Amino acid sequence: MSRNTHAFDLARYLDARTATVNRALDRFLPKAAAKPATIHRAMRYSLFAGGKRMRPALVLAAAEACDGNVPNALPAACAVECIHTYSLIHDDLPSMDNDDFRRGKPTSHKVFGEGIAILAGDALLTQAFEILVQAKPTARYPHHTLVLELARASGSLQLIAGQVADLESEDKATSLPQLRYIHERKTSALLCCSARLGGMTANCTPTQLRALTSFGYHIGLAFQVIDDILDVTQTSEKLGKTAGKDVAAQKATYPSIVGLEKSRKIAAQLTAKAFAALQPFKRKAAALQALAHHLLHRDN
């Protein structure tokens, strides 16, 4: 019964946050008709393709946990969503994961062609920094710090490193440490950065920032382990993308290395660590806790 009440609250919370983030993204981006229209249509096609806005929600909830407010955290929330969307567009390309569908819709290169898809990704990546510096800087975290935070999480040692390692692991035996390296970078890096940026826009204390770092890291890793599990256990229709792709591509996943049950246990352990990290925030962590529950119990 308490679980149902909880789920209901989170659904409302996420709906409200998603609407706020979508309005802000619409405001920050050039209009679809802005010349050249192709690129702006392509940017908006992927950005408004029904993404769950988990990263922006994490930014906003982290800010609130540190007594911050939504308007001050919105630019950072929109910036991480632009980075996330660009990375999906490029990851889906034929020379990368070669995916035709994403969230139940044809991927960018299927609609606009490869050249425009690459450029739409480039444009969203660039736009992220333009949006981020529209955040109001706080005493502890000037623009310089915010930009470094996002650039490092998205750069060649984190997000991009994960995609490279993922590409290079195809058709090769992958160990659990190698798989963890990939997941830490492909998924944890940006989720961790989202939580940290949220805290920064609320001028969080160093202790709060450490707590958010641990929360973001563990929830990110758990999220990816669950993604691996869902690829094995769910249908394409349910996922809104091609299921069983990892198996078909003989891609290393947590289930393929340690089995399904052990994978579920690992995901639960990681989430427990994420919850433990939230202790310093006490009641103010309600939204972050709800998000963590949502990420662990999702089925798509």
- Considering only 69, 126, 175, 205, the residue that binds a copy of itself (CB under 8 A) is 126
The reply on whether position 133 binds a copy of itself by CB under 8 A is: yes
Distance from C-alpha of 124 to C-alpha of 90, rounded to nearest angstrom: 11
Instruction: For 106, list phi and psi in degrees, rounded to 5.
Output: -60, 140
The DSSP call for residue 102 is E
| Whether 230 contacts 300, CB under 8 Å | yes
Structure tokens at 94: 């034929």
Looking at the Cβ atoms of 117 and 239, the one nearer to a copy of itself is: 117
Identify residue 170 by its one-letter amino acid code. E
The reply on whether position 39 binds a copy of itself by CB under 8 A is: yes
Looking at the Cβ atoms of 133 and 272, the one nearer to a copy of itself is: 133
Looking at the Cβ atoms of 30 and 240, the one nearer to a copy of itself is: 30
Please work out the total of residues on this chain that contact a copy of itself, with binding judged by CB under 8 A.
49
Distance from C-alpha of 222 to C-alpha of 296, rounded to nearest angstrom: 7
Q: Which of residues 266-285 bind a copy of itself (CB under 8 A)?
A: none
Looking at the Cβ atoms of 118 and 232, the one nearer to a copy of itself is: 118
The reply on whether position 240 binds a copy of itself by CB under 8 A is: no
Residue 99 C-beta: closest distance to a copy of itself, Å:
13
Structure tokens at 13: 């919370």
| Whether 275 contacts 292, CB under 8 Å | yes
The reply on whether position 51 binds a copy of itself by CB under 8 A is: no
Looking at the Cβ atoms of 11 and 37, the one nearer to a copy of itself is: 37
| Whether 212 contacts 198, CB under 8 Å | yes
The reply on whether position 258 binds a copy of itself by CB under 8 A is: no
Residue 165 C-beta: closest distance to a copy of itself, Å:
5
Q: What is the enclosing helix (H) or strand (E) of 241? A: none
The DSSP call for residue 49 is S
The reply on whether position 38 binds a copy of itself by CB under 8 A is: yes
The reply on whether position 96 binds a copy of itself by CB under 8 A is: yes
Total number of residues shown for the chain: 300
The reply on whether position 175 binds a copy of itself by CB under 8 A is: no
Looking at the Cβ atoms of 122 and 244, the one nearer to a copy of itself is: 122
Which residues fall within 8 angstroms of residue 248, CB to CB, at 6 or more apart? Answer: none
What are all long-range contacts of 90-97, with beta carbons under 8 Å and residues at least 24 apart?
A: 90/117, 90/118, 90/121, 90/163, 91/163, 92/117, 93/117, 93/118, 96/163, 96/167, 97/245
The reply on whether position 32 binds a copy of itself by CB under 8 A is: no
Looking at the Cβ atoms of 19 and 176, the one nearer to a copy of itself is: 176
The reply on whether position 257 binds a copy of itself by CB under 8 A is: no
The reply on whether position 36 binds a copy of itself by CB under 8 A is: yes
Distance from C-alpha of 252 to C-alpha of 228, rounded to nearest angstrom: 9
Which positions lie near a copy of itself, rule CB under 8 A? 30, 34-36, 38-40, 43, 86, 90, 93, 95-96, 113-116, 118-119, 121-123, 125-127, 129-130, 132-133, 137, 142-144, 147-148, 150-152, 154-157, 160-161, 163-165, 167-168
